[in-house]
Structure 1
Amino acid sequence: MSNAIARKLDSIQTKSAMRSVDVANLLGARPETVSRWNQGKAFPRPDAQKNLLALEYIVDELSDIYEPKEARLWLFSRQKLLGGNSPADLIQEGKADAVIDVIERLKAGVFV
């Protein structure tokens, strides 16, 4: 039986083709730590959990626009609409709302 964090990690990895190491790096954790979260042996710190939940939401929204490999590429690429920052960097800095705003604009077809 999987725990809630494990289900979220699975959803992120399935919808964005991200590897555990990608998730770990983005959340400022070690891959071994993410593995323990996945096994239910540990739980994320509050800041990591907040970013994990934001990442899951973002990946879910991206799945409406992109295939998993494309979503991963978008997350780690610099984006003009984010001032040249990558979405992954902004999520890591706790600025997921800026990423969510851009995704909403992309989904609505508004780019300016």
Structure 2
Amino acid sequence: MSSAFAEEAIRIHRTAALSDSLIAEAVGAKPSTVRDWFNGRSSPTGPRARRLAELVEITDRLARVMQARYIPLWLVKPVEALDDYAPVELIARGQAREVARLISALESPGAA
């Protein structure tokens, strides 16, 4: 039952050390549901799949500007530039673009 979405969840779990709980928070699922994705018992669909795609893109971009081990911390830490929201909160609320804009500034600091 594995899908590309489930495979991407597994990939960011492994490469960026994102826990099942953190992925679940970002996509609006239960940690047990995310573990089912990891184990091939189900795959994300609908809004969860879209949020997962956004999380994957943000995680991949963050990996270009910081060490992978810091990504989980950055995602849960309140960020002043995001009105003191944690990036994972905004992703969960469908506001991943706000997070992406901030990452753009990190990718090209001279352009900000």
| Smaller-chain TM-score bracket | 0.7 to 0.9
Aligned residue type for 1:91: I
1:106 corresponds to? 106
Please say which of residues 88-97 and 2-11 is displaced more in the overlay.
2-11
Identity of aligned residues (%): 28
1:22 corresponds to? 22
1:44 corresponds to? 44
Distance change in 2, residues 1:44/1:7 (3 Å) = closer
Render the CA deviation track for 1:51-101: whole Å, top value 9, x for unaligned. 000000000000001112211111111111111111000001010011001
Root-mean-square deviation (Å):
2.0
Please say which of residues 38-47 and 67-76 is displaced more in the overlay.
38-47
SS in 2 for 1:105: helix
Equivalent positions of 1:1-112 (< 5 A) are 3-110=3-110
The list of structure 1 runs, each at least 4 consecutive aligned residues, that deviate by more than 6 angstroms after superposition, is none
List alignment gaps of at least 5 residues for structure 2.
Answer: none
2-structure distance, mates of 1:86, 1:78: 4
The TM-score with structure 2 as length reference comes to 0.87
Aligned residue type for 1:82: L
List alignment gaps of at least 5 residues for structure 1.
Answer: none
The TM-score with structure 1 as length reference comes to 0.87
Residue pair 2:54, 2:91 contacting (<8 A) in 1 also = yes
1-structure distance, mates of 2:100, 2:11: 17
Aligned residue type for 1:106: L
Aligned residue type for 1:39: N
